[in-house]
Amino acid sequence: MNLPLVVITGPTAVGKSEIAVELALKFNGEIISADSVQLYKYFNIGAAKLTKEEQKGIPHHLFDILEPDQPFSVAEYQKLARKKIQEINERGKLPFLVGGTGLYIQSVIDPYEFPETTGHEEIRKKLRKIWSQGGKEELYQRLQKIDPDAAKRIHPNDFRRISRALEVYYLTGKTISSYIRKRKKSLYNLAMIGLTRQRSELYQRIEARVDKMFADGLIEEVKSILEMGYDPKIKPLQSLGYKQVVEYLMGECDQAEAIASTKKATRNYAKRQLTWFRRDDRIRWFSLSEERTEQLLKRIAIDICRSINI
């Protein structure tokens, strides 16, 4: 029989982490992060990592495991997360995979194949040269022509993901979307919970979170990372909030513009997350806008029990 696993997902700022902690307390669970920024050491405020107090004694895994400039792939994440799921089950506890990075979640729960891309460095160099010489639109248009499904999911300014999708096609002759679509029966006995809020409420929460991050010292956090000698172009410093603060520190915008840009980019990211997750009909959706948290937790708990038969 497949090992049980609960997935808690949804858009950024919806309240996944807090709900997951309460559910883990109810089910004697442990939490595995499915967030691509929380993996990195020193990235705390902008990654919205829970404090020790907020974790309420629940073990949290795959937080702070990477140095900021350490290369890391989805395939590596898949191996680490699956190992943690196995270990948590062996301890007689229930694993909760929690986060909003859709590709990370899918890579773990499904028999996800990773395209072999040996030799990708040479192609990436060529693509980066085109990008740096003002060819952003050209590369995005290539992606739209080759793999329109991927282009819908990827932001036109996201060089890393555009490059990855083009590399896969040039090296294998297949689109990255064709690998993603090969979904078979999950490896786990799954309960998949999606959390939502009314759009206006979600956007208010995003704006409040961004304001709080800046008030709590996001700029100082980025300064301290840069003072350690890390390049401003490293992957985690290109993520939401961090990218905008780097631009502010480089004199490319003022603080108010950095805050406004972070809010806009985060709202757009939330839309893309929802587009990704809505395609998966295994997810049972619960709205945090429509009932009290206590009542919602009861309903989710019942759904988990039914889904994984515990």
Write out pLDDT tens, residues 8-46: 999 999 999 999 999 999 999 999 999 999 999 999 999
pLDDT, residue 119, reads: 58
Average pLDDT value for residue range 79-98: 97
Write out pLDDT tens, residues 229-247: 999 999 999 999 999 999 9
For helices 136-146 and 120-132, what crossing angle results, to 10°?
Answer: 130
Full set of structural domains in the chain with CATH: 4-113+188-308 (3.40.50.300), 120-173 (1.10.20.140)
Write out pLDDT tens, residues 136-155: 889 999 999 999 988 888 88
Confidence band for 118, pLDDT divided at 50, 70 and 90: low
Structure tokens at 49: 């990592």
